[in-house]
Amino acid sequence: MPFSELLRSTVFLTAGGATVLAVVAVLGAQRDQNETILLVGALWWIATTWIGLNLGGPERSAEGMRGPLAAARTVQPGAHGVSLSSPGRIAFARLWPILVAVLVAGGIGLVFPEVAVIGSGFALLVALAWRNRESAVLAIELRDGVRFLVEPGSAFKPVKLIRSPGFTTY
């Protein structure tokens, strides 16, 4: 799976999770007729938006991608030892903790809307902070004429990348 696609999927999944949790929070606050939750939630969402926008600038995104891209192992075309797994399996193996966190926060948020408010703010912050990472990776791929692929692995270990030549096959 191309690394840039995993980054894009992460941002979309996290932003979607933020949206779902915000809806759960609003519905829970409306059910409880508690405007305070919504007022505090709105302030929290504004704060996390500001933080996420500041953390997700192009310079910080490029800096955040420097380590994983530099550690990528290089392979030649047709090289053996490169495990090709379906992109869906790799994405699920890497992103399932986000799904679980959204489901747990949403489930608890049905009873306690405050949990959904907090969870949606954190998810919003992460989505905004990571929004430019895909562009940073694509710029390096275009500049160097390479493609960074994700090796199959656990979501609880750092991502390992494969640096393959060109944009032709992956």
Give residue-wise pLDDT tens across range 45-98: 999 999 999 999 989 988 989 999 999 998 876 655 555 678 899 999 999 999
Q: What is the pLDDT of residue 169?
A: 46
- Threshold 0.85, pTM exceeds: yes
Q: What is the pLDDT of residues 52-63, one digit of tens each?
A: 999 999 899 889
Question: What value does the mean pLDDT take over residues 4-23?
Answer: 96
Q: Enumerate residues 6+ apart whose C-beta is below 8 A from 106.
A: 20, 21, 24, 116, 119
85 vs 99: which has the higher pLDDT: 99
Of 34, 28, 21, 23, nearest to 125 by C-alpha is 21
Of 161, 169, 126, nearest to 140 by C-alpha is 161
Q: For the residues of 35-53, what is the DSSP string, one character each?
A: HHHHHHHHHHHHHHHHHHH
pLDDT above 70 covers a percentage of the chain that reads 92
Confidence of residue 135 (pLDDT cuts 50, 70, 90): very high
Q: What is the pLDDT of residue 85?
A: 74
Q: What is the pLDDT of residues 102-124, one digit of tens each?
A: 999 999 999 999 999 999 999 99
